[in-house]
């Protein structure tokens, strides 16, 4: 069964460092998303991406965040200068259609900022 793949599974970084979280969406999917979940809290939307541009972003997705689809398969989330409060589980998701499909989630990347 096709699946969304995220790497790494766990990333530890120093505060102020840049991190790049990587995702390989399901191959025929066109819509890509990043969500995050701070430990013990609900899952929160960060950004959606379609046709090589951001289609929607939340108030969390400020200037320190960026997304990119550098090639035909990868979808990345970059955090330029990490803060302690960026520590969370980051989920990538993808869907084939915009209007009615559920999003398929990757297994997540646990980001720990120290």
Partner 1 sequence: AQTVTQSQPEMSVQEAETVTLSCTYDTSESDYYLFWYKQPPSRQMILVIRQEAYKQQNATENRFSVNFQKAAKSFSLKISDSQLGDAAMYFCAYRISGSRLTFGEGTQLTVNP
How near is the Cβ of 17 to partner 1 at its closest, in Å?
23
Cβ at position 10, least distance to partner 1 in Å: 11
Of 44 and 96, the one with the shorter C-beta distance to partner 1 is 44
Is the CB of 59 or the CB of 85 nearer to partner 1? 59
Residues lying near partner 1 in the complex (CB under 8 A) are found at: 33, 35, 37, 41-45, 48, 55-56, 58, 89, 91, 93, 98-100, 102-108, 110
Dihedral pair phi/psi, residue 60, rounded to 5°:
-70, -35
Q: Which is nearer to partner 1, 75 or 91 (CB)?
A: 91
């Amino acid at each position: 069964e096709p699946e969304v793949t995220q790497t790494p599974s766990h990333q530890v970084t120093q505060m102020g460092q840049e991190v790049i979280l990587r995702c390989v969406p399901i191959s025929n999917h066109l819509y890509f998303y990043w969500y995050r979940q701070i430990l013990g809290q609900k899952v929160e939307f960060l950004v959606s991406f379609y046709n090589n541009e951001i289609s929607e972003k939340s108030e969390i997705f400020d200037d320190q965040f960026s997304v990119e689809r550098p090639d035909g398969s990868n979808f990345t989330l970059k955090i330029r200068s990490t803060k302690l409060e960026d520590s969370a589980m980051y989920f990538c998701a993808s869907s084939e259609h915009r209007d009615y499909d559920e999003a398929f989630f990757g297994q997540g990347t646990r980001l720990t900022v120290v």
